[in-house]
Structure 1
Amino acid sequence: MKFIINRENLLMPLQQIVGVIEKRQTMPVLANVLMVVSDDFLTLTGTDLEIQIVAKVVITDSSSGSITVPARKLLDLCRLLPSGADILLEKQNDKVKLLSNRSKFSLSCLPAEHYPEFAETAMEKQFTINAGKFKKALEKTIFCMANQDVRYYLNGLLLNISNTRMKLVASDGHRLSIFEDMLDEQTGYESRIILPRKGVLELYRLLDNLETELTVMFSNNNIKITIGNLIFSAKLVDAKYPDFGKVFQQSFYKPISLPKQELKEALTRVAVLSNEKFKGVTLDIAPDSMKISTHNPEHDEAEEELSINYQGELLSIAFNAQYLLDAISNLDSDTAILTIASNASSCFIDEPSQCEYKFIVMPMRL
């Protein structure tokens, strides 16, 4: 195996692939990137057995073959070579020689036969979507995903396709985000799948060209997304996502309208003196005013008062300040609308105009 490639053409796919490769591996070969050369194409593959990224790059002066090379070492060498440099890679027994101008490196490798096969089932369902639209959907939901929750179905993102509608939902049990949008074509099916947390974060990172059309294929066990010259694959979470629809089927107090930036700044200041572990703040709501207050075990106190557009009952409710801030920061408009459930079980945060997303934060007891 031998080929010549420009540094930039190798650096970009390596950076995209190395994200899925864990630093600590149970199998040494999983720390490597699989390189396969055939017909003047180099195919690079990285996997952790749950997620896989495959990139295809055009090369010159090549002879066919395959090998696995330490991914991070190869990436670091490419990164440190001068811009625009040509790199010659050649397999010699169990090593890969890397030559560029006056630089010469030799990396110990493992045979390609040792590289594990990524198990995939047949993909029956498919749709296409613009990368910019899909990235926005991820942006509005991923911050609500749980991290290492025992309810493992929360450590991921629900993707619900219902003919021409797409819905993404994420929740960690304390807050929830929902994004809905229309697809450009009829899919003719109804399906719900859960993408794993690491896969969602990697996918978000890969969507850098917002003009690209994505081809999404999935089965009950796997998802495969084609992004230009990249193919992203992941094993799905085998579970049923909880029914969140009931949160909408209840009565609410009148909506509270207030300037987003003012609310964000007030919450940020008050949160400085909140309990470091629970980040709790209390909202005391009265006609035309909202008082945000907190205290902590060191007996520090903070209080801010805001003018609001509200003509309803007196209310007092507490929330995790960071959860409120995350939701408010993800609003696109300058006005935030807070709608609190009559039984004080949840607070909806959205915008005055019809938008594709909604955030729900559960209260806390202080």
Structure 2
Amino acid sequence: MRLVIERGELLRALGHVTSVVERRTTIPILSNVLLVAREGTLEFKATDLEREVIESVAADVQQPGAVTVPAHMLHDIVRKLPDGSQVDIRRDAEKERLTLTAGQARFALQTLPAEDFPDIGIGEMGQEFELAAQDLKRLIDKTRFAISTEETRYYLNGIYFHTAQSDGETRLRAVATDGHRLAQVELPLPGGAEGMPGVIIPRKTVHELNRLIEDSAAGVKVAVSPAKVRFEIGSVTLTSKLIDGTFPDYGRVIPQGNDKEMTVSNAEFISAVDRVSTIASERGKAVKLNIQPDKLVLSVNNPEGGSATEEIGVEYDAQPLEIGFNAKYLLDIASQLEGERACFKLADPGSPTMVNDPSDEAALYVLMPMRV
């Protein structure tokens, strides 16, 4: 195996694939990246047995071949090479070494056989469709903050992607919840997604996917099977196992009869919550909302740290209501709203509250109250 590749191309591809490589693993080959040199291209593959990332870049391949080398070490070496340098890579099969040469710098890395590298991407995927990168990013951005980190409720440790009926139309919907808050966002059903199985995409995969589509303007090809999901983003392919569990019937916690409606300037609300919560204790970040016609008083009382109140104007014409929420959860939800106004639909101090942006009917949030 022998090839020459530009340092920037090599670094970019390694940056994409090494993020799934665990720094500590009991299986040595999982610390490695698989390099496969073919005519005109160098393919990179990395996996943690749950996720797999593959990327191909252009390279001047003089002798095809395949080998695995320590992923993070290779990434660190390439990161420290001079910008614009040409990297000569060749494998010495006798010494089981891979040598990298750039200018006067030369490195020799230990290798493991390419044929021992695991492949989780094989198998039929079934359902395939395409999404705009920004549409997929929106589904992720507006829901991932609500993913549960509680390992015992593993079926909540991801985003539930599925088709759902909304206003007589079938739509693609993403839902995440941790039992304290729920985020639901939907968009028109892409062609080819009809009848797709509901799948729970794990938290790590969600974060990896979000990173990969960060600067992509192209479409994302999605392939789904009951056990795996695959995303093709330009030259990068991310394959992941799905969470093997049943997502709860989240529709039961979305309130239908909340008849008290408060509309407030979202920017004012975020600033006020942020200010008064400064005084809250780390253990109980509760903020009390005292809602009256045309005004909202936010207050925090911390026996150890003091108290804070702030009053802002709102649109509200129902019975006065006092209700408490976790300040961080309030800010998480309010920061997802893109419009100038936030609409709160409330029932009583013990029932869940629905929050949405009046200018965006495709997203809604539910927040459980706290005792204050």
Coarse TM-score class (shorter-chain normalised): over 0.9
1:133 maps to 135
**Shift of residue 150, structure 1, vs aligned partner:** 1.1
Q: 1:272 to 1:80 in 2, by over 3 A?
A: same
- Is the partner of 1:151 in helix, strand or coil? helix
2:292 maps to 286
CA distance in 1, matches of 2:367, 2:62: 56
**Shift of residue 60, structure 1, vs aligned partner:** 0.6
**Shift of residue 283, structure 1, vs aligned partner:** 0.7
**Shift of residue 276, structure 1, vs aligned partner:** 0.7
1:59 maps to 59
Q: Structure 2: where are the runs of 5+ without partners?
A: none
CA distance in 2, matches of 1:154, 1:249: 20
Assess if the C-alpha contact under 8 Å between 1:216 and 1:224 holds in 2: yes
**Shift of residue 211, structure 1, vs aligned partner:** 2.0
- Is the partner of 2:22 in helix, strand or coil? coil
CA distance in 1, matches of 2:338, 2:255: 26
Please state if 1:334 is matched with 2:336.
no
- Is the partner of 1:129 in helix, strand or coil? strand
Q: TM-score, normalised by structure 1?
A: 0.96
**123-132 vs 339-348, which moves further:** 339-348
- Is the partner of 2:245 in helix, strand or coil? coil
Letter in 2 for 1:240: T
2:89 maps to 89
CA distance in 1, matches of 2:2, 2:313: 70
**234-243 vs 53-62, which moves further:** 53-62
**Shift of residue 297, structure 1, vs aligned partner:** 3.8
CA RMSD of superposed structures (Å) = 1.6
Q: 1:204 to 1:2 in 2, by over 3 A?
A: same
Assess if the C-alpha contact under 8 Å between 2:221 and 2:231 holds in 1: yes
Please state if 1:107 is matched with 2:109.
yes
Which aligned pairs between 1:1-366 and structure 2 lie closer than 5 A?
1-92=1-92, 93-118=95-120, 120-162=122-164, 165-248=171-254, 250-342=256-348, 344-366=350-372
**186-195 vs 69-78, which moves further:** 186-195
**Shift of residue 186, structure 1, vs aligned partner:** 5.0
Assess if the C-alpha contact under 8 Å between 1:40 and 1:60 holds in 2: yes
The superposition leaves residues 79-115 of structure 1 with CA deviations (integer Å, 9 ceiling, x where unpaired) of 1111111100111131111001111111122221222
Q: TM-score, normalised by structure 2?
A: 0.94
CA distance in 2, matches of 1:270, 1:255: 23
**Shift of residue 10, structure 1, vs aligned partner:** 0.8
- Is the partner of 1:54 in helix, strand or coil? strand
Assess if the C-alpha contact under 8 Å between 1:43 and 1:54 holds in 2: yes
Assess if the C-alpha contact under 8 Å between 2:186 and 2:363 holds in 1: yes
CA distance in 1, matches of 2:263, 2:62: 64
Assess if the C-alpha contact under 8 Å between 2:196 and 2:224 holds in 1: no
**Shift of residue 324, structure 1, vs aligned partner:** 0.3
CA distance in 1, matches of 2:156, 2:194: 27
The superposition leaves residues 258-310 of structure 1 with CA deviations (integer Å, 9 ceiling, x where unpaired) of 11111111101111111212211111111111111112241511111111110
**Shift of residue 122, structure 1, vs aligned partner:** 1.8
**Shift of residue 187, structure 1, vs aligned partner:** 3.2
CA distance in 1, matches of 2:58, 2:39: 9
Determine what percentage of the aligned residue pairs are the same residue. Answer: 34
Letter in 1 for 2:58: V
Assess if the C-alpha contact under 8 Å between 2:41 and 2:61 holds in 1: no
Assess if the C-alpha contact under 8 Å between 1:42 and 1:59 holds in 2: yes
Q: Structure 1: where are the runs of 5+ without partners?
A: none
Q: 1:115 to 1:186 in 2, by over 3 A?
A: closer
Q: 1:188 to 1:329 in 2, by over 3 A?
A: closer
Letter in 1 for 2:71: A
**Shift of residue 355, structure 1, vs aligned partner:** 3.0
Letter in 2 for 1:298: E
Assess if the C-alpha contact under 8 Å between 1:164 and 1:185 holds in 2: no
- Is the partner of 1:134 in helix, strand or coil? helix
**Shift of residue 345, structure 1, vs aligned partner:** 1.7
**180-189 vs 258-267, which moves further:** 180-189
The superposition leaves residues 122-174 of structure 1 with CA deviations (integer Å, 9 ceiling, x where unpaired) of 21111110111111111111111111431101110100135952100011111
CA distance in 2, matches of 1:71, 1:186: 36
CA distance in 2, matches of 1:330, 1:166: 19
Assess if the C-alpha contact under 8 Å between 1:284 and 1:290 holds in 2: yes
**Shift of residue 119, structure 1, vs aligned partner:** 5.9
Assess if the C-alpha contact under 8 Å between 1:3 and 1:61 holds in 2: yes
Letter in 2 for 1:153: Y
